[in-house]
Amino acid sequence: MFYRLVVAVSMIGTVTPALADADNGGRLAQRWCASCHVVARGQTSATSEAPPFSTIARRPDFDAAKIAYFLLMPHPKMPDMALSRTEASDLAAYIATQK
């Protein structure tokens, strides 16, 4: 348990949304996320189970670093995207642009 906590904390420290490339994040969103989430304004279809990126970005507690960390961990309803830390930061930066 302690080991997992140390790994998780060290991963948070290496996610750097300030240096992220939102344009690359947009490309990743189209590749990995658009089949479930609305990832851009002109998108016309997605599932009703996944929130649009604009909704995620407008949450009062939105934090790109937390989103990037979340994206690094597999989740039951999401595909295992096997993103690098840089890609997770890029994707989180893109989500932040969707406010």
CATH number at residue 80: 1.10.760
How many structural domains compose the chain? 1
Mean pLDDT of 34-59: 93
What is the domain range of residue 33?
A: 2-96
The answer for residues whose C-beta is within 8 angstroms of residue 55's C-beta and 6 or more apart is none
Tell me how far apart the alpha carbons of residues 12 and 67 are, in angstroms, rounded to a whole number.
10
Residue whose token pair is 């649009």: 52
Answer with the residue of higher pLDDT: 90 or 10.
90
Q: Is the pLDDT of residue 62 over 90?
A: yes
State how far the alpha carbon of 65 is from the alpha carbons of 12, 41, 46, 76, in Å: 7, 23, 25, 21
pLDDT of residue 18: 65
* pTM of the predicted structure, to 2 decimals: 0.80
pLDDT tens-place string over residues 12-34: 445 555 689 999 999 999 999 99
pLDDT of residue 9: 43
pLDDT of residue 77: 85
